[in-house]
Amino acid sequence: MERIQNSGVDEEPPTSPAPAPPHSTPTHTHHSSGSPPPHPNSLRDDPPRYWEHHNKYSRSANTGEHARTRRAAPDNRNTCSLYIQTDPLIWAHVREGFPDHKDPSKKAEVDMKTREEILSLISHHVTAVNYIYRGTKFDGRLEHRNIKFEVQRIKIDDDSLCHPHHYQSETNQFCLGNIDVSNFLNLHSLGDHEAFCLAYVFTYRDFTGGTLGLAWVASASGASGGICEKYKTYTETIGGMYQSTKRSLNTGIITFVNYNSRVPPKVSQLTLAHEIGHNFGSPHDYPSECRPGGQEGNFIMFASATSGDRPNNSRFSACSVGNISAVLDAVRDGRKRNCLTASAGAFCGNKIVEVGEECDCGYDGDECKDRCCYPRQVSAYDREQNSTAKGCTRRANTQCSPSQGPCCQAQSCQFVAAARNQTCREAAECSHAAFCSGDSADCPAPAAMPNHTKCNNGTQLCKDGECSESICRAWNMSECFLSSAPNPRGDGVTAVVVDRRTLCQLACQTGPGPDSCKSTADFAGKVGLPEGGISLRPGSPCDNFQGYCDVFLKCRAVDAEGPLARLKNLLLNRATLQTVQAWVTEQWWAVLLAGVALIVCMGAFVKCCAVHTPSSNPKRPPAR
């Protein structure tokens, strides 16, 4: 989950943000209208402002000249429109999950299933984010309630665009391999997304350092970045030369893989909520009051790892609520562009079937490949054939549309017969396969495996069809973390170790007190485990949520500042520049000698090479 800033609540407008990330070289900086846009999750570290917010509910803050009255927002514009794009890597990953993905005769069928699976993935993630934001009261000077998100456009890139023979292969930016997270976000930001509140890309790229997402951060001061940003020109400095580039900074990205392991759905949903939190103006939680840890867990905007199963993991801290409220206030009172809209309910054309829609195959004929459903923009030909044709309704004499679910035949527009015994959902560790029932386009809910069935490489147990219980429950214990640092709260959930490999061993609480958190290697023989106990799988949180286990089962700390801040601190921070300036001032003679020596060396090189260089001048001697 992305990892760059630390801050409490800003009661006053924050100062000018740090430079935007580099596009392709470390020397880029970005400027617009005389001030730079923020870089994703830009650094803000201002503890005193947190305490101003923390004390604003005191008696003194609400009497006399400090008293103020919160008023309701003037309208019902509380909906943020989303544009979501998926790249070829997530297409390839989802497609490879179907058994027939290598069968050429079933290519069309597998492609359709892949598309529906990705659409379902998007739908579930947006639903989860809505549940979090709609249930949070963002109250600043105004009351901001029921904040929600509606998908207005989806673009799914399949991997055919990345084949060398494809005519668009050179122009598809997401076909490029080995793109780091900051450049990936920059590629996405080059597009014009001004028509939307936010634009996101879902990918399956294994970014370095346990990075699960990145997003531009909003500011209540009106600086560039975050929700509702317009597509505008920024000036980049590349090698001392200036060039203008247009960007949309209302963008973010998330990935579904970490250290070569698929990210659990709960964690990826919280990652999306976390990155959108940055877009809405929340930095990472700071100070310690807003990152309590312990059995309740940390909040959504915690800078490092999360398991997603603690009560606080799906809540915003008071710090985050204050920061987001300040940005929403700025949007409402005109200091920032207001692109929030009143909810339109179902949005025809986003490829997600919502309440009131019979089907939804896309925006227009180019997107809609469904012969059973009308797109949002009904073509003139279809209107000639059926004068009552409406978008997101089924065509005449059809029983269903593939957009409604995997149990609809694309060619006949009829339900898949139960007699065909067609699998619509493959078996998982905690659930059996599901088969089409013959009376619905939806796939029936699969039957759950028995509770306490081992899953996730033996590190967890099934509960109600999900792999969510710790294996420690099988021995009447609770899971805990081995940690590289003492637990300041003394709540007995960690034990201190220093070996990075040991930190990736599964540990259980064998009794009260911090010394009772033991690695399964310490009691393996007593519970029938092999010698060495159980290791956490790659991508699992470790070191009390301060890092992730890598593919070598070593705990790698999550850098809370991230790649962009490291780059900024290395090249652009004021202390470094002042140090260099002071050294040049004091050692001017060394700089002068180095310059003279460089000129002499260059002259000698030219003189030496000149006698070996052929010339067309007839008066010169021939080259040696």
Residue 410 structure tokens: 């694309």
Which of these is catalytic: 229, 275, 479, 561? 275
Residue 35 structure tokens: 């001030």
- 429 catalytic residue (yes or no): no
d(CA 449, CA 467) in angstroms, rounded, equals: 10
First to last CA, the chain: 63
Instruction: Tell me whether residue 144 is annotated as binding.
Output: no
CB contact set of 42 (below 8 Å; sequence gap of 6+): 4, 5, 17, 18, 217, 225, 564, 565
- The DSSP secondary structure of 508-558, one letter per residue, reads EE-SSSGGGEEETTTSGGGGTPPTT--BPPTT-EETTTTEEE-TTS-EEE-
Can you tell me whether residue 139 is helix, strand or coil?
strand
Instruction: Tell me whether residue 278 is annotated as binding.
Output: yes
- CA-CA-CA-CA torsion for 388, 391, 393, 395, nearest 10 degrees? 60
Question: For 500, which DSSP code?
Answer: T
Instruction: Tell me whether residue 274 is annotated as binding.
Output: yes
Question: For 113, which DSSP code?
Answer: H
Backbone φ and ψ for 434, nearest 5 degrees, come out as: -115, 150
CB contact set of 460 (below 8 Å; sequence gap of 6+): 454, 467, 468, 469, 470, 471
- The DSSP secondary structure of 190-237, one letter per residue, reads TS--TTSSEEEEEE----GGG--EEEPPP-TT--S-STT---EEEEEE
Question: For 14, which DSSP code?
Answer: P
Q: Which amino acid belongs to residue 286? A: Y
Burial class (CB in 10 A: 0-12, 13-18, 19+), 63: exposed
Identify whether the C-beta of residue 323 lies closer than 8 Å to the C-beta of residue 281. yes
Binding-site residues for Zn(2+) sit at: 274, 278, 284
Catalytic residues: 275
